[in-house]
Each structure stands twice: as C-alpha cells, then as structure tokens.
Structure 1
Amino acid sequence: MEAMGAPGAGLAIALENLFPPLPSEVILPLAGFTASRGEMELWAALLWTTIGSVVGAMALYWVGALLGRDRLIAIAAKLPLVKISDIEKTEAWFAKHGNKAVFFGRMIPIFRSLISVPAGVERMPQRTFLLLTTLGSAIWNTIFVLAGYHLGENWEEVTDFVSVYSKGVLVLVVLGLIGFLIFRATRPGGGKRRASSGQGSDNG
C-alpha cells in the first residue's frame, strides 16, 4: 500500500475480481488503515478501489459477452446432469431479477465476480451494468475502507468478521450445489436433456 498508493489498491481490487482468492476483505481495510496513517488520501482509497472493482467487473462482463448463449448451451450440453432447460430457467430468472442480482451481488463473496459473467452473456445494457456495479461496489468498498480507517492498528478485526460471512456463503453454495445434484440424479429422467428450439439462436 505504501509503495503503490491508492492506484495500487485499485489494481489489487481489479485483480481480486478476476482471481477471487485475492481477498478484498484484506485489501480494503488495509487501504483504510494506510489512509488513517496519512500515507494516502481517504477519498483516493475509496475512488481507486471502486474504479478497480468496476474495471474487474467489466472484464468479466466481456468474458460472458464473448462466450455468448450458443457456447454456454454447448458447454451445458456436455455436462452431466445439466439440461438445456436449466440454462433457459436461469435466463428467465436473470431477465426478471438481473438488476438486483448485479447490484446486491457486488456485496456477496463469490458472487461478486461471478455475477458479471451472466450479465455479459445476456448482454445487459452496459450503462445499466456500469451504474449498478459502481453503486454496489462503492457501498461495499466504503464500508470496509472506513472500517479499516477507524479501527487503525486493529484493522485486521474486519477480516475476522468477513471471513465468517464468506465461509457462510460458501457453505450455502456448496449445499445448494449438492442438493441440485442429488435432486437431478434421483429424479426420473434426470439424465435426459430435451432439445431446445432456441439452441441455435443468440440473444446477443
């Protein structure tokens, strides 16, 4: 933080979007603590970390856009226990709840990165995606940067709290995935995939 300053914190957050193992719950409060020592401006820490969040999210948005619906369906067709109808249901859900998913997803570990991909696949309007991503990221970043700023030398207490939160989200994701696999494997005809007339179309 001292060597690279606020732009370095922004770069670290951008990379955190692309490589989730890099923990934002460490980077953000550490940036706040560094600001509390006068080694960077608080407003700069908030600005650059939010810019980093948006840059990383946009990179994943374009991964989804380049992937496209046709390739996504082709991949799904090769996965065991996955049906084309699963993709169609996900598309329908995202069409209805996509704005809320992008906004609140920026505040949920794991989904912070992943939510950008379906937004790109579905070609959510870029202005909408940028606005929602910026707002959600600014809220998340501000909370943790300010926490580190006010906690000072005790900034690591923030990581303990977020670690519990992150592990809770991960457990829910794993349980949900296991539940889906068990349901699909035990359901009659669970291994069959129905043909989709829309398989050759592209929403993009």
Structure 2
Amino acid sequence: MSDWILGLIEQSGYLGVGFLMFLETVFPPIPSEVIMSLTGIAAAQGRIYLPFAIAAGTAGAMLGNILWYLAARALGHDRLKPFVKRHGKWLTVNWKDVEKAHRWFDRYGVWIVLVGRVMPTIRSLISVPAGLLDMRFRNFVIASTIGTAIWTTLLAVAGYKLRENYADIDQWITPVSNIVLVLLVGGYLLRLILHKVDLD
C-alpha cells in the first residue's frame, strides 16, 4: 500500500496528494496518517516540495470536509427532528439535546470544529454536526482549514523528519486514536444506560 501511495505521489505530484486526502475524507480507505507521513517522506526524498505538498493535502481534505458539510446542511436541522424522535432511544439524544447542541455550535462552533480537526477519529466526522446544526459556512471553512492545515503539517513534517521510519509515527498516533475511540464508545454506552434509566 505504501509503495502504491508513493508511486501515485511520484506520478501525479500535488494532485495525487490532494486526491488521496479528498478520498480519505469522503470515504476513508487509507488513513491520513499514512498519506501525509508518506507525503513527507516523498518530500524528504526530493520528489516534491514540502510546503506545496502540505497545501495540496489540506486543499484535498477541505474539499471532502465541505462535501460532508453541504450534504448535512442539505438534510437540514428540521428534517433531523423526525429521525431523532424515531431513533432517539438508540442515539441517546432527544430534541432538547439537539437544540442545546445547536446553541453550543452557535456560540463555540469555531473552536469545536478547529479542535475536532486535529483529533483522530473525530476529525473526519465533525463536518456532519456542523452542517446539521447550521454552522455558518464561512466560520466552518475558516476553522476547518486551520485545523486541517495543522493536522496535515504535523503528519507531513513527522514523515519528513523520520523519512523511511514512518512506522514510528504509529507509535504515538495509534494509541491516541484508540483512546479517543474507547472514550467515544464508552461515552455512548454510558449515555445509553443513563438514557434507559431516565425512560424508566
């Protein structure tokens, strides 16, 4: 897989980097950790220029982020209500929770999206609530671009510095990703239990 990614970057250059990051954001077959760290290696080998590669990766990811945002925005806040009423038991949310989240996004949406973009697992999902909860498009783009640029820069620079030892990146990214995933699942299970208690 790594040889294929490096080959695509070598053949297509910055367009290849952007395409891979777009693909990862829309339908993640390959994690960004692999794509951008290998991009950093390609830059270290002189195949591409690191700042341009980071810009290409950020742009590709942003196209995917905007696509998800627009899809969620098209679904709309109002259309969400029947879905929440029907499946709220398993979602562990009710309409009051949605309205509360809406107010949070109105007040802190920029920071929620910006921080979410640099958190493994969450970073690819944050576009959906931002769109559903009617976050202003301009604010979404600004916060997402900053957060995505930070994420792609960290990964690309790590690959650039470690060169062929890019597997070392997994030694700190994978545990963080697993911790975030465990917290998300644990939080959901806790909410599910408490939600059932409230219903009883």
If the length of structure 1 is used for normalisation, what is the TM-score? 0.87
Shift of 1:20: 3.7
How many angstroms apart in 1 are the aligned matches of 2:88 and 2:151?
36
Match of 2:148 in 1: 137
4+ residue runs over 6 A deviation: none
How many angstroms apart in 2 are the aligned matches of 1:153 and 1:29?
10
Q: SS in structure 2 opposite 1:109? A: coil
Deviations 1:29-74 (A, max 9, x none): 1000011111111122111001012111100110111010121111
Residue from 84, 95, 108 that aligns with 2:95: 84
Question: How many residues in Structure 1 have an aligned counterpart in Structure 2?
Answer: 189
Range moving further from structure 2, 152-161 or 26-35: 152-161
Unaligned runs of 5+ in 2: 1-8
The answer to whether structure 1 residue 13 and structure 2 residue 21 are counterparts is yes
How many angstroms apart in 2 are the aligned matches of 1:53 and 1:10?
7
How many angstroms apart in 2 are the aligned matches of 1:12 and 1:159?
19
Shift of 1:150: 1.0
Match of 1:40 in 2: 48
Match of 1:58 in 2: 66
Shift of 1:17: 1.4
- Cα RMSD of the aligned pairs, angstroms, is 1.4
Match of 2:32 in 1: 24
Match of 1:112 in 2: 123
How many angstroms apart in 2 are the aligned matches of 1:151 and 1:83?
47
Alpha-carbon spacing, 1:72–1:80, altered in 2? closer, same or farther (3 Å) = closer
If the length of structure 2 is used for normalisation, what is the TM-score? 0.89
Range moving further from structure 2, 68-77 or 140-149: 68-77
Unaligned runs of 5+ in 1: 191-204
Alpha-carbon spacing, 1:180–1:21, altered in 2? closer, same or farther (3 Å) = farther
CA contact (8 A) 2:21 2:35 kept: yes
- Structure 2 residue identity aligned to 1:149: Y
Deviations 1:120-176 (A, max 9, x none): 123322222111111111111111101101111111211232111111100000000
- Structure 2 residue identity aligned to 1:148: G
Q: SS in structure 1 opposite 2:11? A: coil
State the structure with bigger RCO (CA 8 A, min sep 6), 1 or 2: 1
How many angstroms apart in 2 are the aligned matches of 1:159 and 1:9?
20
